[in-house]
Structure 1
Amino acid sequence: MKRISFFLIVFLSFFINLCNAQKRISWQQAVQLLRESNISLKQSALREQISQNNITIARGDLYPNLSFNVNNQHTMGMVFDQVSGKLITGNQWSSYATGSLGTSIIIYQGGQKQNTLKAEKLNLELASLDTRRLTRELEIQLLGLFTQSLINHDLWGAGKSQLQLSEQLLHQEEVLVEVGKRTLIDLSQAKSKLANDKLNVVSTKNAYELSVMKLKQLLEMEESEEIEPVPPQEFLVEQIHPNYTLKYDPYIRLLNKQIELGNLKIKMASSSYFPTISLNGNYGTNYSSQRLNFLSGSAIPFWDQFNQNRTLSGNILISMPIFDGFRTRSNVKIAKINQQSLNYEREKITRERKQVISQSVLEYEASQEELNAVEAAYDANKANYEAIRARYNLGKSSSIDLYRALTEFNISEFKYISSRFQVFYRKELLMILEQQ
């Protein structure tokens, strides 16, 4: 029984640890999670669906409408009976029934309905482009958080390694002080370095946890869920050749579509200058209990009236605007002003996007050169620290020289970690900007 309980406890412990294990997320998985779970992207997809429905509505406005009306009425007292053509007086009940089937269609309205349909199709394209723009912005935001989490994770790891080294050096100094081979100055230097390394570990740990928390918020993940960003395997040796054009830039494409939509808005505003031509048709019948047979004096039966009272009508209606208080002219003028403003906006955004791309390319190339320089400095400081430490152990260097060399080595290690991931960030940023 005890053996069964022991295995049960072990199994439960393993299961709990498995559930609480960190979920390792690569950059590609983070992008996929963003596209699947981000609420802003889901809302943007819903706006696309609304635009699609608006197209259906605008297309339906081109078709004729058809309506069917039925009315049954009972009246007591004085009323004019339109069916029998006489005035009914006295306290008597009258019954009426009507039924009609009507249709109408606008044949011409200055191209208003056709332009509305084109405008709704453009609105759908604008909604789709806005989703791409939002996706790109969120991916850039995600890239920044993901890269910062990687940097903070490695800085935290480097800080813990440095802390272990400082603890070993302090223990070594304490032993050497006891045997009289080191002074209290050497011991205080070791304690000061240990205290700084402890503070650095706390700072980098908090920075890492904060960046991971922001990363989880962007990915719409639960706060209790544990994740660990996974760095790419060979991002340092991979070389890319940026070849960016503004052809697929969502900001420029959005403005181009907005300008195209602005041209339609000018036409739609000008359509009020033209007449509206509509075709209408109606078919119906009616019944009245007051309609009597001239020979017998009795009320004509319902179905007899239904056949006798049938009417069929059709008409063409032409409505021509003459004066509307300059409303149409003002609307056209406003639409043209907005169109000119969009043209200026496109010129401004085009210059800004070119500057952003050029700057990103230069920063990517500079990050590669910086990495080479930082890596060389890291190797040199590492070799310098090891050489001075060997001299210090032989008593040929002071503790001040040792801890100065160790501090320079630590700083160069931090810079090396940041520079490595800056290359990754700049490369991925260019790849995001090149996406269609």
Structure 2
Amino acid sequence: MKKSIIVLLLFFVAFGQAQDKKWTLLECVNHALENNISIKQSELDTNLADIAKKDAIGNFLPTLNANGSFGSNTGANVNPATNQFENSTFESANGSISSGINIFNGLANWKTLQRAKLNQIASQYGLDKMKDDVSLMVANSFLQILANREQLRVLKSQNEVTKENIKNTQDLVDAGVLPRGDLLEIQATSATQEQQIINAENALFISKLGLAQTLQLKDYLNFDIVDIDYGLVSADILEKSPAEIAEKAKEEVNNVLIAKANLDLAEKDLEISKSSYYPTLSGFVQYNTRWASSQTNPFTGEDIPFIDQLYIFDGTSLGLQLRIPVFNGFSVRNNVQRSKVAIERQKFQLEQTELDLESTVYQAYNDAKNSKKSYEAALKTEEARRLAFEYAKERYDVGLSNSFDFNQSRTAYENAQSDVVRTKYDYIFRLKILEFYFGLPITDLN
């Protein structure tokens, strides 16, 4: 009985810990990299590339095949054992084992193996790009949750101030200092704020739901991230020039690496297509034997036993086969020309990818600088609005200002607080994007 109670207590403790778990950004990214469906699909592409490499290795190995047949013959047929026509009913069988090996085919096998290795690299770049995309998506979702949570915190704090103002206004109304309409106005403001809080709670839940789905988690209601008030991340990346970041990005971002790998593959395809101009030389060896039911010993007239026939009528062939391409309807030449066109296409693609990356980096750099200015301006505006609100509140509390002017000042201050939250997390995400292009991890928000 005691054991059962202990087990139940341990279960409830573990269940409670599972419910209270709060995910860090690093945990979210790592979990997404292990469970995201798009990443798993990209991993299948790398598996196919590994299989293609095994195929290329197999091209160097000799082939080995066995064949056999059995038949019943009636009437005039060639006896497979004697190669003579016989007008009789007999049964026959034959079997063979053959092996062949490619000796030279213009180095096509070697170049195919090299291509398979390049394809492995390209598929790995594709997988890494998918991981980068998912990591950025998770980081953005994570920051959105933080922004929504802080926005909710601001709204609740504003509503607490409003409720305190309701109490003060009630006292002023009771004292005859302010008209009752001022109290009704503030009460209406409180109701509006409560509605905004409900909308903010809904936005927070939706952002959590989106991240949980990205992580392939099913317990949406209990999913949450760490409740830490993150400050601004380091802005050291802005001290670098956009040209420097763009050059570093060409080495780090997988879009360019994929384009370079595709160009290497196209060049290797050209080498493979040119190998068809060369002769091919292959070797073969074959052992075969046969049996027929009507075989008799010419001296004794007795049937020759099955095993004996296999030894008597067996044979071995060994040789080389040379194939020299002379004319094949320009197919080889056309394939070579197609490969050259593919190379030029990939060169243009690489150039375009690099140009797009440069444009993206410069735009990201400009966005980060502007978001910094917006955040700094929002902080100054918030401070100014705070002072203006405090002044308006002092005047309102002593009856020197009406409710309209007071509510205008409070609304402006509340909007300024919301802008600080919005511009702060926009600034953080813009910085993380720049750091990503420079090859820095996106999982560090400290």
Would you say same fold, with TM above 0.5? yes
1:30 Cα deviation from its structure 2 partner:
1.2
1:414 pairs with 415, 418, 431, which one? 418
Local SS of the residue matching 1:364: helix
The answer to whether structure 1 residue 334 and structure 2 residue 338 are counterparts is yes
- Indicate the residue corresponding to 1:52 in structure 2: 50
What is the CA–CA distance in structure 2 between the aligned matches of 1:115 and 1:167, rounded to whole Å?
78
Amino acid paired to 1:180 = G
Query: Which range is displaced more, 15-24 or 387-396?
Result: 15-24
Q: How many residues align?
A: 426
**Does the CA-based 8 Å contact 2:368-2:427 persist in structure 1?**
yes
- Indicate the residue corresponding to 2:383 in structure 1: 379
The answer to whether structure 1 residue 210 and structure 2 residue 206 are counterparts is yes
1:196 Cα deviation from its structure 2 partner:
2.8
1:350 Cα deviation from its structure 2 partner:
0.4
Give CA deviations for 1:255-313 in whole Å, capped at 9, x if unaligned: 11100100111222233333322211112222223333222222323333332323111
What is the CA–CA distance in structure 2 between the aligned matches of 1:286 and 1:22, rounded to whole Å?
78
Give unpaired runs (5+ residues) of structure 2: 441-446
1:129 Cα deviation from its structure 2 partner:
0.4
Local SS of the residue matching 2:297: coil
Local SS of the residue matching 1:21: helix
1:234 Cα deviation from its structure 2 partner:
5.4
- Identify if the C-alpha distance between structure 1 residues 237 and 324 changes in structure 2 by more than 3 Å, giving closer, same or farther: closer
What is the CA–CA distance in structure 2 between the aligned matches of 1:67 and 1:307, rounded to whole Å?
20
- Indicate the residue corresponding to 1:226 in structure 2: 222
1:207 Cα deviation from its structure 2 partner:
1.6
Amino acid paired to 2:204 = Y
- Indicate the residue corresponding to 2:34 in structure 1: 36
Query: Which range is displaced more, 54-63 or 182-191?
Result: 182-191
1:81 pairs with 79, 82, 91, which one? 79
What is the CA–CA distance in structure 2 between the aligned matches of 1:404 and 1:415, rounded to whole Å?
17
Local SS of the residue matching 2:22: strand
Give unpaired runs (5+ residues) of structure 1: 1-6
1:233 Cα deviation from its structure 2 partner:
5.5
- Identify if the C-alpha distance between structure 1 residues 275 and 435 changes in structure 2 by more than 3 Å, giving closer, same or farther: same
**Does the CA-based 8 Å contact 2:66-2:98 persist in structure 1?**
yes
What is the CA–CA distance in structure 2 between the aligned matches of 1:327 and 1:88, rounded to whole Å?
48
Local SS of the residue matching 2:19: coil
Aligned positions of 1:235-384 closer than 5 A: 235-236=231-232, 238-241=234-237, 244=245, 245=248, 246-384=250-388
**Does the CA-based 8 Å contact 1:143-1:429 persist in structure 2?**
no
**Does the CA-based 8 Å contact 2:289-2:313 persist in structure 1?**
yes
Normalised by the length of structure 2, the TM-score is: 0.87
Amino acid paired to 2:383 = D
- Indicate the residue corresponding to 2:91 in structure 1: 95
Normalised by the length of structure 1, the TM-score is: 0.89
1:113 pairs with 109, 115, 120, which one? 109
Amino acid paired to 2:386 = K
What is the CA–CA distance in structure 2 between the aligned matches of 1:290 and 1:315, rounded to whole Å?
33
1:24 pairs with 16, 22, 25, which one? 22
**Does the CA-based 8 Å contact 1:139-1:432 persist in structure 2?**
no
Local SS of the residue matching 1:220: coil
Give CA deviations for 1:385-428 in whole Å, capped at 9, x if unaligned: 12221222122333233222211211111111122222321232
1:225 Cα deviation from its structure 2 partner:
4.3
- Indicate the residue corresponding to 1:159 in structure 2: 155
Give CA deviations for 1:194-215 in whole Å, capped at 9, x if unaligned: 2331232122222212211111
- Indicate the residue corresponding to 2:434 in structure 1: 430
Amino acid paired to 1:256 = K
- Identify if the C-alpha distance between structure 1 residues 321 and 195 changes in structure 2 by more than 3 Å, giving closer, same or farther: same
Local SS of the residue matching 1:313: strand
- Identify if the C-alpha distance between structure 1 residues 234 and 16 changes in structure 2 by more than 3 Å, giving closer, same or farther: closer
- Identify if the C-alpha distance between structure 1 residues 376 and 278 changes in structure 2 by more than 3 Å, giving closer, same or farther: same
Local SS of the residue matching 1:343: helix
What is the CA–CA distance in structure 1 between the aligned matches of 2:15 and 2:27, rounded to whole Å?
23
**Does the CA-based 8 Å contact 1:129-1:254 persist in structure 2?**
yes
Local SS of the residue matching 2:236: coil
- Indicate the residue corresponding to 2:397 in structure 1: 393
1:20 Cα deviation from its structure 2 partner:
7.9
What is the CA–CA distance in structure 1 between the aligned matches of 2:252 and 2:300, rounded to whole Å?
85
What is the CA–CA distance in structure 2 between the aligned matches of 1:386 and 1:227, rounded to whole Å?
39
Give CA deviations for 1:42-69 in whole Å, capped at 9, x if unaligned: 1211221221122111101111111223
The alignment-based identity, stated in percent, is: 22
